[in-house]
Amino acid sequence: MEALFFNVSTGFLEGIVRGYKAGILTQSHYNNLTQCETLEDFRMQLSSTDYGNFLANEPLPISTSTIADKATQLLVDQFHFLRSNAVEPLSTFLDYMTYSYMIDNVVLLITGTLHERDTHELLERCHPLGVFDTMPALCVATNVEELYQSVLVETPLAPYFRDCLSASDLDDLNIEIIRNTLHKAYLEDFHRFCTTLGSPTSEIMHRILAFEADRRTINITINSFGTELSKEQRAKLFPTIGRLFPEGNNAFAKADEIEQVRQACDHISEYKAFFDIAPSARANGGAQVDDLGGDGAAAQLEDRFFSTEVHLNKLAFMQQFQYATFYSYIKLKEQEIRSITWIAECIAQNARDRIQDFIPIF
């Protein structure tokens, strides 16, 4: 059993993570935050939680982007503490958690290079969990070919690029294909690695990664409607893991409209419910309030993805002596940061009629 190999160091870190989890905001915390009239009141309320005085040195008026950035930095500091004290195989597991952020960061730098933008400025926009020591070396590249070669040498993503892409693939037309191809390779690789960790880690992580793979499959299909992406290209972007694989993936590859996507999800009750049209909250608190007036059905689908992700990650804490708690804590805190940012944005824009449109965790 895996518990026999769960060493003292890892057990100590798991205890720390479970302590961190105890500091996740509760419904009563959110109730207090939503009653705030100004962002100064909001800052005072947050200071009474585990966030403490993380905004104490920020001059007024505080921006919502500052709140999100500072809250994210607290989470990043916690992650780096765990990583610096981890031993194998937890250290590799934590490294895998950073690869998805690295992919988005590298794709951002690729996009900047294609558009001849100052990639040093783009570094400031990179997610801190996806920053690695040699990332500044990528900014030295003056063209896509040089950047491609640098990625193969300087980053942990080298196997994904080498096995999935060539330098000729890196252009504006293919940039989203590249992003999804890399995420597909990453999810499949992470899934394989979790298999080596034994039960219960493998069972919990396979369930979480299966949902992430299915979410990507559904989003890729829907977002490809009305674009130049062929059905053959679309099918190549679907991860070969998840509850929808392989029958659902085959159906998605042939789909031409949302109704066919709905039908392909009918055999999975949780996914079928995603497409039941009803009023719902807006979960993605990272977005600006003014940006949320788009397709209501698409927004609702994203809400339900977030809700399901929260549910699955909460379940990870039901079992001890396993590594999934580290992954799930980071994901739950990310949702929490989206929620507090949403509340802050509603206060800043005096959009109190939408201030309850977030997903609490507990």
Identify the pLDDT of residue 173. Answer: 62
Tell me how far apart the alpha carbons of residues 196 and 194 are, in angstroms, rounded to a whole number.
5
Identify the pLDDT of residue 266. Answer: 92
- Collapse the DSSP code of 196 into the 3-class scheme (helix H, G, I; strand E, B; otherwise coil) and give the result: coil
87 has a pLDDT exceeding 60 = yes
Q: How many degrees, rounded to 5, is the angle at CA 298 between CA 293 and CA 300? A: 85
Burial code (b: 16+ CB inside 10 Å, e: under 16) for 170-186 equals beeeebbbbbbbbbbbb
Lowest mean pLDDT: which of 72-76, 184-188, 277-281, 340-344? 277-281
Identify the pLDDT of residue 293. Answer: 36
Instruction: Report how far Cα 340 is from the mean position of its chain's Cα atoms.
Output: 16
Structure tokens at 116: 């001849």
Tell me how far apart the alpha carbons of residues 5 and 93 are, in angstroms, rounded to a whole number.
15
Structure tokens at 227: 């674009």
Percentages helix, strand, coil for the chain (3-state, rounded to 5) are 70, 0, 30
94 has a pLDDT exceeding 80 = yes
Say what percent of the chain tops pLDDT 90. 68
Say what percent of the chain tops pLDDT 70. 92
286 has a pLDDT exceeding 90 = no
Identify the pLDDT of residue 32. Answer: 97
DSSP string over 275-305: G---------TTS-GGG--S-HHHHHHHHHH
173 contact partners, CB below 8 Å, separation of at least 6: 228
Kindly calculate the radius of gyration of the chain based on its CA atoms and give it in whole angstroms: 21
Helices (H) and strands (E) in the chain, counts: 17, 0
Identify the pLDDT of residue 289. Answer: 39
Of the two residues 208 and 296, the one the predictor is more confident about is: 208
Identify the pLDDT of residue 277. Answer: 59
Confirm if 312 and 211 have CB atoms less than 8 A apart. Answer: yes
Q: What is the pLDDT of residues 12-30, one digit of tens each?
A: 899 999 999 989 999 999 9
Tell me how far apart the alpha carbons of residues 259 and 104 are, in angstroms, rounded to a whole number.
30
Q: What is the pLDDT of residues 143-168, one digit of tens each?
A: 778 888 888 887 889 999 888 888 78
H or E element at residue 138: helix 135-138
Of the two residues 89 and 122, the one the predictor is more confident about is: 89
Identify the pLDDT of residue 25. Answer: 96
Of the two residues 39 and 291, the one the predictor is more confident about is: 39
Identify the pLDDT of residue 284. Answer: 47
For residue 350, with 0-12 CB atoms within 10 Å meaning exposed, 13-18 middle and 19 or more buried, which class applies? Answer: exposed
Question: What is the pLDDT averaged over residues 129-142?
Answer: 84
Identify the pLDDT of residue 175. Answer: 87
Closest CA to 357 of 286, 274, 273: 286
Identify the pLDDT of residue 28. Answer: 96
Q: How many degrees, rounded to 5, is the angle at CA 142 between CA 139 and CA 143? A: 115
Closest CA to 220 of 241, 236, 242, 201: 236
Q: What average pLDDT is seen over the chain?
A: 89
* pLDDT band for position 135 (cuts 50, 70, 90): confident
142 has a pLDDT exceeding 80 = no
* pLDDT band for position 295 (cuts 50, 70, 90): low
Question: What is the pLDDT averaged over residues 19-43?
Answer: 94
Q: What is the pLDDT of residues 181-217, one digit of tens each?
A: 999 999 999 999 999 999 999 999 999 999 999 999 9
Identify the pLDDT of residue 335. Answer: 97
Identify the pLDDT of residue 359. Answer: 93
* pLDDT band for position 296 (cuts 50, 70, 90): low
Structure tokens at 349: 């824009």
